[in-house]
Structure 1
C-alpha cells in the first residue's frame, strides 16, 4: 500500500506553482498526497493566519488515511503555533512530522511531547526530483527515500562527520537541534530550546553573515541552552558570506569555549543540495569519520 502523507503550511507562504511541482515530485516516488483546499490563505508573508495554520495542522493529524504530516517549507511563523497546539489531538494519531528550517521549533516540541519528528527535506524541495540535473536528482532521490524509510520505521543511517579541534574520537547521545537562527530566536520565550542531557546538537543555517551566526550561537551559550549538550555537530551553512581567511568552525569553537563543548563538522544536513534526514531524539554514535544512528 503506498505511503500517504498530509501537507501543511505552518510558516511562510509559498508560490503555488512551486508547491504543485513539489507535490508532483513526491508523487513520482509513489506517495499519495492529501492537502486541504486551499492549502494557503496568504496573510502578509505567512501561509495563513495563525488560526488557519493551527486548524490545518490539527486536521492533518485527524486524517486517518495518512501516515505522516509534511511541511511544504520553512521561512517564518511556526513558533506562533505552539501555544495553540492541541497535544491530545496529536497524541491520538502520533504521525511523524517532517520538515526543517523554521519547522525546527515544531520538531523540538514534538519530541518533548513524545511525538515522532523528522528533520528532513520540505515538500518544496521535491521539485528537484523532476527538474534538477541527473546528478542532483540522484542525491535528492536518496534523501527522500531515506526520509520515507524513517517515516515507515526505525532505520539505521550513517553520515560523514569529522572533529574540529580537540574532540573525543567516540561519543554518543540523542540528536537535537536544527536551524541555528531559529533556535536562537526562541531564547527568553516559553518555547526556548534546551538541549537534552548528553545531546549531540546539530546546527545548520542559510544566508546569514558570520557575525550573525556567532551572535546566535553566543545567545544559545549564554542563555544556557547548551549547558547539558555533549557536542555540537555542524551541518551546512549555505550562502553565509565568509569573513576574510577565517574559518567558521574556528569562530564557533571559540564561542563554545566557555562550555568546553567539542565541535564536529561536515554533516550533509542543511539548506543546500545535501540535506539528509535524521530522527529527532534518536541516539547517535560518533566514531572516527562518521556519525552512526541506530535503527
Structure 2
C-alpha cells in the first residue's frame, strides 16, 4: 500500500529540480509526495518568510488525504515557526525530518503530537546515487520510515558502551537530535530539556570539535540533560577532529561528572545511514542494545 505525504519547507531553500528528482525516485518505493502551490518563495537563504512557511505547514497538517507531514530539508529556520504555531490546534499527524527539524520534533513531543526523526524528502536523491552502498542504505531507511508510518516496531540496534557499565539498563522517552540546533535553543521559550529518564540521541554535521564541545557545554550547563538516563551518539559527519582527540572523550568530559552513561554507534545522522525513529516514544537500553517501542 502506497503512502502520500504532504511536503513542507519550514527551513532553508532547496533547488526545485532536486526536489522533482527526489520525488521521482521516491515514487519507485510507493512513496507519493504532494507539492503544495508555491512550496517555496525564496527569502534570503530561507524557503519563504515566516508567514509563508507557517501557512504551508498548517495547510499540510490540515490536509485530510495525506499520511504525514514531511520536511523537504533542514538547514535553518524552524525555530522561527515553533513560537508561532498554535500546537493545540494541530491534528495528530506525524511530522518527519531531522537536523534543523529537531526544534519542531522537540515541540511535538512537548505538546503530545507524533513525530519521526528520520530522512528528509530531499534524501530521496540517495536512491539514485552512484555509490551502491548509499542507494542500499537509503532504501533501507526509507522502507523503515514506511514501516513506522504503518505502525511497525523497528528492530533493536547494537550500541557501543563508552562509559556505561555492562549491566546498565534504562528506559524512557527517546528524544534529542542535532546537537548544535538543540544547544541554540538554550535560554529561549523553546529550550530543550530531556524528560525524566529520557534516552537522548545526539548527532551533528560539519562542526569542528571545539564547536561540538561548546554546544555540549551549553546543553550540559543549561540543565537540558539533567534528567537523562543515557546519551547515545549517532554520526558526526564531516566534523573536523582536533589532534588526536577522540569524539567520545569530548562527550565523556562533560557527561561523566553528571553521572550520565554514554553510548555510541547509532546509524543516525547526516551520513550514509539515517535510521528513522519515533520521537518521544518509549525506548530502552538492555545489554548495550537500543530497543524501540510502538
> What TM-score results when the alignment is normalised by the length of structure 1?
0.96
Work out the CA distance in 1 between the residues paired with 2:24 and 2:89.
Answer: 29
Conservation of the 8 A alpha-carbon contact between 2:88 and 2:111: no
Work out the CA distance in 1 between the residues paired with 2:130 and 2:182.
Answer: 31
Work out the CA distance in 2 between the residues paired with 1:90 and 1:83.
Answer: 14
Equivalent position of 2:19 in the other structure: 19
Work out the CA distance in 2 between the residues paired with 1:144 and 1:132.
Answer: 18
Equivalent position of 1:58 in the other structure: 58
Conservation of the 8 A alpha-carbon contact between 2:170 and 2:197: no
**Secondary structure of 1:157 counterpart:** coil
Equivalent position of 1:213 in the other structure: 212
Structure 2 residue 158 is matched with structure 1 residue 148: no
Q: Report runs of 4+ in structure 1 exceeding 4 Å deviation.
A: none
Name stretches of at least 5 consecutive residues in structure 1 with no aligned partner.
none
Name stretches of at least 5 consecutive residues in structure 2 with no aligned partner.
none
> Which of the residues 109, 112, 115 maps onto 1:114?
112
Structure 2 residue 245 is matched with structure 1 residue 246: yes
Conservation of the 8 A alpha-carbon contact between 2:158 and 2:288: yes
Work out the CA distance in 2 between the residues paired with 1:33 and 1:63.
Answer: 13
Equivalent position of 2:269 in the other structure: 270
Shift of 1:121: 0.4
Work out the CA distance in 1 between the residues paired with 2:197 and 2:288.
Answer: 20
Work out the CA distance in 2 between the residues paired with 1:72 and 1:166.
Answer: 36
Shift of 1:86: 2.4
| Range with greater deviation from structure 2 (38-47 or 283-292) | 283-292
Number of matched pairs: 293
Equivalent position of 1:184 in the other structure: 183
Give 1:81-230 correspondences, 5 Å limit: 81-91=81-91, 94-167=92-165, 168-230=167-229
**Secondary structure of 1:73 counterpart:** coil
Work out the CA distance in 2 between the residues paired with 1:32 and 1:121.
Answer: 15
Shift of 1:154: 4.2
Work out the CA distance in 2 between the residues paired with 1:36 and 1:290.
Answer: 41
Work out the CA distance in 2 between the residues paired with 1:175 and 1:264.
Answer: 14
Shift of 1:132: 3.8
Equivalent position of 2:40 in the other structure: 40
> What TM-score results when the alignment is normalised by the length of structure 2?
0.96
Work out the CA distance in 2 between the residues paired with 1:35 and 1:89.
Answer: 23
Work out the CA distance in 2 between the residues paired with 1:2 and 1:265.
Answer: 34
Work out the CA distance in 2 between the residues paired with 1:132 and 1:139.
Answer: 13
Work out the CA distance in 2 between the residues paired with 1:87 and 1:132.
Answer: 41
Work out the CA distance in 2 between the residues paired with 1:87 and 1:283.
Answer: 22
Shift of 1:255: 1.2
Conservation of the 8 A alpha-carbon contact between 2:176 and 2:202: yes
Conservation of the 8 A alpha-carbon contact between 1:207 and 1:240: yes
